[in-house]
Amino acid sequence: MEQIKIPGGETVFQERLDNGLAVMVLPRKQFLRTYGVLSVNYGSLDSKFKIPGEGVVEVPPGIAHFLEHKLFEEEEGSVFERFASWGGSVNAFTSYTQTSYLFTTVEHARESLAYLLEFVNAPHLTEENVEKEKGIIEQELQMYADHPDHRIHSALMENLYHEHPVRLDIGGTVESVRSITVAELQRCYDIFYQPGNMALVVVGDLDPYETCELVRSSYPQRQGAGFSAQRIDPQEPNSIVQPWAETQLPISRPRYMLGFKHDPRWRGQELLRTQIAMSLGLKLIFGRSSRAYAQLYEAKLVDDSFYASFRALPRVAYSVFSSETDQPEALHERLAGIINELKGGGVEAGEVERLKKQFYGMFLGSLDSFEYTANRITAQYFEGTPYHRYLEVLREVTTEDVQGALGDLLDWERSSVSILRPVNAHG
């Protein structure tokens, strides 16, 4: 087994099985809890792909999320009940680029891991249960449509992107969900749920060699030639759809969100370096100890809801700033001034070094979380970002890197504002 040292001095044991599955075990001696996550390199962005010998296939948006729901259903009984009977819990999530199935338990770790592998590899799809699920997912989509944070973010993505599927809800639309067929679900499952397109990470007081052998002996035999789909993203224009858009919702205060659209041009260590540099740069604006935050807070333009984030994946990248505010226009004007000041050379070396120390401590603290650590290991595997070198790359990032990232990526020509106002706030 390959051994990879990660920050904090721990070792991840990694092996690729003959069927293509990547297995990664992080032993944590004397811990009672075990956490396991089986992830598929398949998410909401994967609605168009090319199959060798068949050509281009396009399926309705939301299929990845739909499959996540359906894999918890068995012919008899419930996946949730089985884990509960062992004193554990099970869950799943779908993102832009992956679907993950996870469990956590204090007892019956071996049984839980074996069953995780079993149910993810045994889809039970019928016309009846798929039609029933459509109604459940429609209700979920409608619930999210009424959630302010989700609504304003969705509106911003529609402002920024013309064609890219990131502009759509991860769960799809009501129309796309209604159009999904059993045959399409089964086909996407057969194509993407191949062991060579999946990764398993287990954290706990486990022997890595015994765990790997358990996975090897428990993993169901799969028919097929292995993963071979070529993902196809649309040609997304550099331009945005519109620079400003407003909508209404029954909320108590207006919400403001500013977004910048980026080209996802980074890979590997360069991607990790850019993620760190931009995160440091944004922290200079929204960090609670920053001068920028103090100015905005004292002017009563933001409150504790103010945040900023940089999302960068190999296939999509964007930055957002958001806050509840009684004065969206005034916040935008003041925030634009702060951003322009930083872009114009206002990044101070002392502030960057202070934040780097903060990031260092936060990262070490995050290693205590089984979930965070396992999810970062998974992302490292799928995205090719060297998570195990995070602290080393953090030390290497310079003030010039932060200055350059802000100047390059916060491009007003590729920005848009989304405002959510209380119903009838302006008549």
Is the four-CA dihedral 282, 284, 285, 287 of positive or negative sign?
A: positive
Residue 333: partners with Cβ closer than 8 Å, 6 or more residues away: none
Query: How many Cα atoms within 13 Å fall on the side-chain side of residue 119?
Result: 30
Radius of gyration in angstroms for the set of CA atoms belonging to the chain, rounded to a whole number: 23
Phi, psi (5° rounding) for residue 177?
-65, -40
Residue type, 379: A
Q: State phi, psi for 326 to the nearest 5 degrees.
A: -85, -10
Is the distance from CB of 295 to CB of 367 less than 8 angstroms? no
- Calculate the CA 417 to chain-centre distance: 22
The residues that are catalytic are 68
Strand order in the sheet with 22-27: 2-5, 11-16, 22-27, 198-204, 34-40, 99-105, 89-94
The dihedral over CA atoms of 361, 363, 364, 365, expressed in degrees to the nearest 10, equals 80
Supply 281's token pair. Answer: 């740069």
Task: Give the residue among 56, 69, 74 at the shortest CA–CA distance from 180.
Answer: 69
Q: By the 8 A CB rule, do 313 and 385 touch?
A: no
The answer to whether the CB of 6 falls within 8 A of the CB of 388 is yes
Separation of alpha carbons 201 and 295, rounded Å: 44
